[in-house]
A and B are shown apart, each in its own frame.
Chain A
Amino acid sequence: MRRRDLLLATAVTLLWIAPARAQQFMLIPMDLSQTNHLKAYGLAYRMLGQGVEVEWLLNYRGGSFLARRGGDAELEARVRNVSFELVGAAQVAEIKAEIDRENMEVVLLEKPPRLAVYSPPNAQPWDDAVTLVLEYAQVPFDKVYDREVLTGKLAEYDWLHLHHEDFTGQYGKFYGSYRFTTWYQHDVEVNEALAVELGYGKVSELKKAVARTIREYVRNGGFLFAMCSATDTIDLSLSAEGVDIVAPEYDHDGQTPGVQDRLNYSNTFAFEKFSLELNAMVYEFSNIDTSNYARLRGAEADYFTLFSFAAKHDPVPTMLTQCHVNVVNGFLGQTTGFRKSLVKESVLILAEVDGSSEVKYLHGNLGRGTFTFYGGHDPEDYQHAVGDPPTRLELHVNSPGYRLILNNILFPAARKKEQKT
């Protein structure tokens, strides 16, 4: 009798313990059930930093994350209001079986990439969407500028972000409207002083050197993510090796005669055969940008569509396009989108405006590294003007537009898998 009671008690205890022990994994879904998509990336990044291996389940429930339970991940998830599910080994096996059957893939994220944001030391009267979302998601990053780039500090980072920058040395082409403002004049002063300090006769020459260094950084294996005007201006700068494309209002000397015919497109990342806007009074750099078309559509009708990729064969573009929706609200920027006919054939288009020739999001390889360009300034501020207050991300915790930015910070952490074909 006693033995039977003991066996019964043991069985009951085991049955009671078993369910708790069986939930060995933490699944962070990224579909519409997720309470805070943006902080979920930050949580995944944090777990990587603590040495926890995180699996990115591409196309599974919006690109979910899976990791073993442990540490304070669950507490942090609750503090950050990131929803998660505890699953057991059996459920994980089912999930992986589904992934095998469907257009899905498992990518192992190994260690958190070291992030750098190219940002000038003088305050600008606009905000950088990438730094905003990194801060909101609690992902650490360092700031670098020309001095650090030219002294080789980029080698310390896996990932570099460029935002509303002007690598042509024309101060964002704000001359027409803002040349009498204090911030603009201060910007000119700071950049001219820096150019001299670093041994360059003109700001445009300095910026060319920076652009070249960034290109070498990517060629040597770095990951580059650029938004807004950094996307086209870096290519403009790279194409203008040996010629002067800068209006005299900026550098007090003339542009090279016939400069348009002397551009070298083989130096650029993503664009070719573009035409420059040489007039200092025009707030535009070239015909790459499609802002005018977007403005004609207006905020209510401006969307872009993410392309689908074969997760098993093209994990990289799949990672970059993970989202819980396929159609995303558009947003303007100094460079809003890219004219399709000017995008190099070797570059992969990740998203475009349906029925148009406007590319919103693209990706390419250069040497051992990669670059991703994303048009527009702030995914949750349709038209961010100079002096506008920063976007409050706590009001946009499920923003698809911001998710695309965060896909880029995790993608460098992925272990490269051999191609299946």
Chain B
Amino acid sequence: MRLATTRLLFAAALAGALWTTPRPAAAQAAAPALTPEQAESLHQGMLMLRNLERQGDRAGAIRQGEALLQEFPNTRRIEDALAQLYRLEHRDDALLDLYRRRTQRDVNDLESFRELASLLLHRERVDDAVEVFHKMIAVNPKDENRYRLAASFLHSRGQAESAIRLYREGRRAIGRETLFAAELAQLEEERNDLPAALSEYVLLSMNPEQRRRATREVAGLIERSEARPRLLARVDELRSRHTKSAPVQDIAAMAYLQVGRYADALAAIRDADRLAGDQGEHLLDFGRTALDAGKSGTVLDSERVQVGVQALALLSERHPKSGLAPEATRLSAEGLVAVAREMEPGETRTRLLKQAVATLEGAGGSMAPRFETEARMLRAMILFEDLGDAAGALPVFESIAAQQREAGESDALVMVQAALCRAALGDFAATRTALEAVVGSSPPDSVADPFQARRKKPRDLGAARARYHLAELDVVEGKFPEASSEFAALAEEAPEDRFANDCLDRALVLNEAMMDDPAALQRYAAMVRARLQRNNAGAQSELEALVQQHRQSALAPIALLELAAALARDGKTELAMQRYDQILADHPKHRFAPRALEARGDLQMERLRRPDLAQASYERILMEYPDDLFLDAVRKKLLAAREAVKGGPHATP
């Protein structure tokens, strides 16, 4: 029995030794192999040590451990146990000796180097700690991981200066100028040496894979910094010193863009592009950054947008064959249109829109066919929707439609746009013919295959829009029952979204109005006619007359709603709000009432920048119209308004 127990204990000891965490080869060699008796003795010794510790006799446990270590020198298990005990008893000197011995014994035991340095730092012996790391590094001075381990450890213990020195030493020793640039930049920023941080980001940008990150970090640095003038002075200095460095010029351009020095930004990005000798990536990134910030900021910055547009135009000019040119053209045009649409109608708005059109025209012929079609489509939409130039837009739409037909693609949506151009030019007969052609050429829904019917292809969408406008033409021609039926059919077929809801509303309104004073319907028809002709003033005047003269008509609510939307589009926000309020006052239970509240909330949020008022509007919808179909969208808007309110008084989202 005793033999069996001994064998069991031996096996356990051996298993323990075998299952020890793998250590570096040098450390394993330091401890000689044990005989079975020695292993047993060691095991018993460790048990005794643990028992003493559990009994609270730490001093006894330490004595036991030290005795064991004398008997079994360089045994890691004993050293680990002793290290824990020394820590608990605050015997730092003994702990230091222990780790010193380990690091001398095994120069690859990085963990022990780190522990030793940690102890020295704890005793505020910073220089000694750094010396320890130097010894660790000296084993293999070309190993960048050693520098990283040492420096990051020093940094985590509050020794940023030492960490910086170590990184710089590593950079020199390994001989790569850009090594540790990201780490050094962060450290320099933490100790508020922003020009030094900036220099490191410049170095980081020399690595093509890190260029974008570097420029982003620099922009962020400038944004965060309270010492902008100092930083910008450094940027100026770097720029003038490194006139042949594309990364430096690129970073300078982004920095100047950040602070509004647009002329300098443009000059710097020109230089960066010239020096880079690439396909215009710098210009594209710059343009995109300028446009994104210009469009999404709380204050519209049209000058910034123009700088972005100029940079993108430069790309098309300097790199006409670049694969990035179509993207640049598209971004330019979209940027200009986005800015223009934020403005009140007027000369500046028109000028920007025409500039967008000119940008798209100028790019024609140099792009791949797909991009060219997209550019032409965008141009046509700007001409028609924003500039009201139906005559200019019509040939463009028709040529795109012809091109799509040749390519075997669906032309339905484009043909609808072309038809609407004809309506705007007053040729309703041709409009009807064109729209009927779209409807006639789309395949019927396959009732047998419900999945097929549910999948909306472009041709189906085009047909739905065509039918919608045909119904409008019926209204214009006084065929109100036909129009109502068509709107009702569309509402039935379309998925539950705003389009279906709109169709249903029109069907219901016409149905109700057909029992009213026919004069109201005639006025409504005149309004639809004016709207199709893009005669906004005429449409508004018909709506005003409807509202004034037919207050009790079933058409009054929709007239108010459409009038308010038209006024909002014209930038007459206050008048639009009054009309929405009139719907709520005169028709509180009408199905348009929650739409009026929602639209009012949207104006309060986006135009008036009053999220607190918007919040109240949206909350009213939830409380007063709990069965409204679009509550999910309203909830999202309400949460956004609440967040904006939290941001500060009248904070904008």
Contact = CB atoms under 8 A, between A and B. Distances in A.
B16 A257 contact: no
Nearest to B49: A253
A252 B638 contact: no
Contacts of B50: 244, 253
Question: Which residue among A244, A249, A254 has the maximum number of chain B CB atoms within 10 Å of its CB?
Answer: A254
Question: Which residue among A75, A81, A248 has the maximum number of chain B CB atoms within 10 Å of its CB?
Answer: A248
Nearest to A76: B622
B607 interface: no
A221 B639 CA distance: 39
Nearest to A74: B623
Contacts of B21: 248-249, 252
Nearest to A281: B19
B12 A254 contact: yes
A252 B81 contact: yes
B84 A196 contact: yes
Interface size class of B (residues with CB under 8 A): 20 to 34
Contacts of A247: 19
A79 B81 contact: no
A78 interface: yes
B19 A280 contact: yes
A280 B20 CA distance: 11
Interface string A9-44: 000000000000000000000000000000000000
Contacts of B8: 257
A252 B85 CA distance: 14
Contacts of A79: 619, 622, 635, 638-639
A78 B621 CA distance: 10
A346 B328 CA distance: 73
Main secondary structure of the interface of A (DSSP, over half): loop
A121 interface: no
Contact of A201 (B12, B19, B53): B53
Nearest to B638: A79
Interface string A249-264: 1001110010000000
A257 B16 CA distance: 11
B46 interface: yes
A75 B619 contact: yes
Interface string B610-623: 00000000010011
B635 A252 contact: no
Contacts of A389: none
B224 interface: no
A252 B53 contact: no
B638 A254 contact: no
Interface string A390-403: 00000000000000
B626 interface: yes
A75 B619 CA distance: 7
Contacts of B53: 201
Contact of A254 (B46, B80, B85, B622): B46
A254 B19 CA distance: 10
Interface size class of A (residues with CB under 8 A): 10 to 19
Contact of B54 (A75, A81, A242): A242
A368 B186 CA distance: 53
B77 interface: yes
A202 interface: yes
Given A252-B80, A254-B12, A280-B19, A201 B88 contact: yes
A199 interface: yes
Contacts of A257: 8-9, 12
B81 A253 contact: yes
Nearest to A202: B84
Interface string B85-101: 10110000000000000
A7 B21 CA distance: 94
Interface string B1-40: 0000000110011001001110000000000000000000
B19 A78 contact: no
Interface string B239-264: 00000000000000000000000000
B43 interface: yes
B77 A253 contact: yes
A303 to B, nearest CB: 30
A74 B80 CA distance: 62
B16 to A, nearest CB: 4
A244 B87 CA distance: 21
Contacts of A244: 50
Interface in A232-274: 242, 244, 247-249, 252-254, 257
A170 to B, nearest CB: 13
Nearest to B642: A79
Interface string B158-202: 000000000000000000000000000000000000000000000
Contacts of B80: 252-253
A202 B61 CA distance: 15
Contacts of B87: 196
A201 B85 contact: yes
Contacts of B88: 196, 199, 201
A178 to B, nearest CB: 14
Contacts of A242: 54
A74 B624 CA distance: 11
A52 B264 CA distance: 63
A253 B622 CA distance: 64
Interface in A180-227: 196, 199, 201-202
Given A202-B84, A253-B46, A248 B20 contact: yes
B84 A78 contact: no
Interface in B381-403: none
A200 to B, nearest CB: 8
A81 B43 contact: no
A78 B85 contact: no
A248 B623 contact: no
Interface in B50-96: 50, 53-54, 76-77, 80-81, 84-85, 87-88
A81 B626 CA distance: 10
Contacts of A253: 46, 50, 77, 80-81
A196 B95 CA distance: 14
Contacts of A201: 53, 84-85, 88
Contacts of A196: 84, 87-88
A242 B8 CA distance: 22
Interface string A68-88: 000000110011010000000
A202 B88 CA distance: 11
Interface string B186-223: 00000000000000000000000000000000000000
B85 A249 contact: no
A254 B632 CA distance: 60
Nearest to B43: A254
A249 B88 CA distance: 21
Given A242-B54, A249-B21, A280-B19, A78 B626 contact: yes
B65 to A, nearest CB: 11
Nearest to A81: B635
A249 B19 contact: yes
Given A78-B626, A202-B84, A252 B77 contact: yes
B280 to A, nearest CB: 36
Contact of A75 (B20, B77, B622, B632): B622
A33 B77 CA distance: 63
Contacts of A249: 19-21
A78 B622 contact: yes
25 contacts: A75-B622, A75-B623, A78-B622, A78-B623, A78-B631, A79-B619, A79-B635, A81-B635, A196-B87, A199-B88, A201-B84, A201-B85, A202-B84, A244-B50, A248-B16, A248-B20, A248-B21, A249-B20, A249-B21, A252-B21, A252-B77, A253-B46, A253-B80, A254-B13, A257-B9
Interface of A: 74-75, 78-79, 81, 196, 199, 201-202, 242, 244, 247-249, 252-254, 257, 280
Q: Would you list the 5 A-B pairs with minimal beta carbon distance, nearest first?
A: A78-B622, A254-B16, A252-B80, A201-B84, A196-B87
Given A74-B623, A249-B19, 13 more contacts: A75-B619, A75-B623, A79-B622, A196-B84, A201-B84, A248-B20, A252-B76, A252-B77, A252-B81, A253-B46, A253-B80, A253-B81, A280-B19
